[in-house]
Amino acid sequence: MSNMHLLKIFQSQSRFFYTALLGLGIINSFTFSVLLLFINLTIAGKPFPIWPQYGWLIFFGLLAVSVVTTKVFQTYLVKLTQQILYGFELNIVDQLRSASLSDFQKLGSERVYTAINDVRVLGLVPEVMIVIVNSSIIVVCALAYLCYTSVAGGLCMLGLMLGMLIFYSTRNKAIRKNLGKVRDLQDKYHKYLLDLLNGFKEVKMSSVRNRNLFTLFIKANRDNAKALGQQTAVRYLDNELIGRYSWYFALGMVIFVLPALFNMRVQDYIPFIIVVLYLMGPLSSLVGIMTHLNNINIAVERIQSVEKEISTVSVSDSKPAVLPCKCPRFESLRFKNICFEYTDHLKQKSFTVGPISLNINKGEIIFVTGGNGSGKSTFMNLLTGLYQASAGSISYNGHPVPLAEYNAYSDCFSAIFTNSYLFSENYDGFDLRTENTELMHYINMMQLKHVLIIDNDTKKIDIGLSKGQTKRLALIYALMENRELLVLDEWAAEQDPVFRTYFYEFVLADLKSMGKTIIAVTHDDHYFHHADRIIKFDYGTIVNDQTISKVSKVAELDQLFV
């Protein structure tokens, strides 16, 4: 990404950006030129050509104008940068929440963490931009002044600077490559950290795993990053060193070579010496700021690539047309030739689900069964609109559901997945007070009356539950969503035998009488006779879809589905 791109981002945030930049440029170039002229005239013992008696006033007046202009621009830039910085941050999260599940799974949380960290780097923009603008103006003014004094000398200096520019841009390319590698290492580092945090128990349970994770992955990664970081820092410092000393070299040329070459008198080459000295500060600032500029450019590049990846197939939040905000009463759901493919990192198909065709009717209790890896969870993700089918169509109450309405479609389901997650805050806005009779009814139903602690003040349920209890609380929350379609993925797997029997024999019937339609993935073949229908998956397709008559014997079911 070029620096121009960064400027474009600023212009897109504030349409006065280029104008402000130009204003600052004009005022400061005028100021710096006049200051340079003053210095040279004073040394040459000449008065200022306009209003010589008010020279001091012009000098300090211009300084004041330049300080005020830079201050105004600086403040404007800081505000703009913060706006862009927080905008980027929110945009990443905003796009993430509307991304499809498969995009999110492909992206990986570690990339998101690195991008969020990268956003912070943008805080350096005001400092970098002010240095670049002011220093470049001084360089241009000084060169122009030099050319005005002596064309040959000015061109010599210009040549020297161009040489330095080419030298820096060549070295900078190598540095940018290194910085890119450091960021890739950062992505991996975040991944290993997530492994350590999410798999803490597993890490503690094996000293080999524990040691390998640390030494072979985390430490090796950090060692690599350290080596690259050192190499980059040394290169930067070398650049600075070469830049500074080549300018001293230029000074030496001016003092010793120019006078001899062009047969100059002292007063002729004094302006050169002044200009060279005048340029030393800005040039070294420019070289010094390159580190930050590179970091900013790389950060923006990476943030934008993450944003682009997230936004490729993001589902819009726009108001649904077929499915209004509140889901219409459920009557039927139809899957027609639905297909889905997982792809590997080379975009090759790794597993295909479908074509799946089926109808689900109001009030049905459907058990979904099949071996490990047969496609049950993938089907559940397709059913709930979390995955978008590559072919086929879904109809809700006879109306086809377009891609743009998948969010609204998902809102028709309550779902508890195998690795269900309980949030730290009540994002659903549930009424979590003991006075809420509905809540208390569900708590009784889940036999958690003496386990859950409801804090009426904070309106929160204190969480510190076993796995089975957590799943029961998840079901309470799911029921409080008051949705007609309930999807459960191996919900009862963590329940004790007594509660499991109670769940299949009584809870399911209760939920059905409340008007729920239930689709549950289960391996609990002892309870298959509590379903109205059993769907069996194998190799990604439905191999059996059987309605269970109430008179069916458990033995018959065993033959059919096990």
Ligand X SMILES: Nc1ncnc2c1ncn2[C@@H]1O[C@H](COP(=O)(O)OP(=O)(O)OP(=O)(O)O)[C@@H](O)[C@H]1O
Interacting residues with ligand X (CB under 6 A): 105, 342, 350-351, 370, 372-378
CB of 383 to ligand X, least distance (A): 12
Nearer to ligand X, 350 or 544 (CB): 350
What are 192's two structure tokens? 């290993």
Dist. CA 484–CA 330, nearest whole Å? 7
Residues 6 or more apart whose CB falls under 8 angstroms from that of 387 comprise 100, 101, 102, 340, 378, 381
Closest CB to ligand X among residues 88, 417? 417
Query: Among residues 47 and 373, whose Cβ is nearest to ligand X?
Result: 373
CA angle in degrees (0–180, nearest 5) for 258-263-266: 75
Q: How many CB atoms lie within 10 A of CB 155?
A: 13
- Closest separation in Å from C-beta 377 to ligand X: 3
Nearest CB to ligand X, comparing residues 295 and 377: 377
Report yes or no: 133 and 6 within 8 Å, Cβ to Cβ. no
Q: How far apart are CA 481 and CA 514, in angstroms?
A: 13
Q: Give residue 53's identity as a one-letter amino acid code.
A: Q
Rank residues 105 and 318 by Cβ distance to ligand X and give the closer one.
105
The secondary element (H helix, E strand) that includes residue 135 is helix 125-149
What amino acid is encoded at 240 in this protein? E
∠ CA 134-3-12, nearest 5°, is 95
Task: Report how far apart, in Å, the C-alpha atoms of 179 and of each of 118, 228, 231, 545 are.
Answer: 12, 8, 10, 56
Shortest spacing between CB 521 and ligand X, in angstroms: 7
User: For 292, how many CA atoms within 13 A lie in the half-sphere containing its CB?
Assistant: 18
- CB 454, min distance to ligand X, A: 33
Unique residue bearing structure tokens 């010793």: 256
Closest to ligand X by CB, 38 or 104: 104
Rounded to a whole number of angstroms, the minimum distance from the CB of residue 382 to ligand X is 10
Q: Which residues contact 43 (CB under 8 A, 6 or more apart)?
A: 270, 274
Q: Select 70 or 522, whichever has its Cβ closest to ligand X.
A: 522
| Minimum separation from the CB atom of position 106 to ligand X (A) | 8
CB of 489 to ligand X, least distance (A): 8
Whole-number minimum distance, CB 105 to ligand X, in Å? 5
Q: By C-beta, is 484 or 489 nearer to ligand X?
A: 489
With left for phi above 0 and alpha for psi between -120 and 50, is residue 447 left, alpha or beta? left
Radius of gyration of the chain (CA): 35
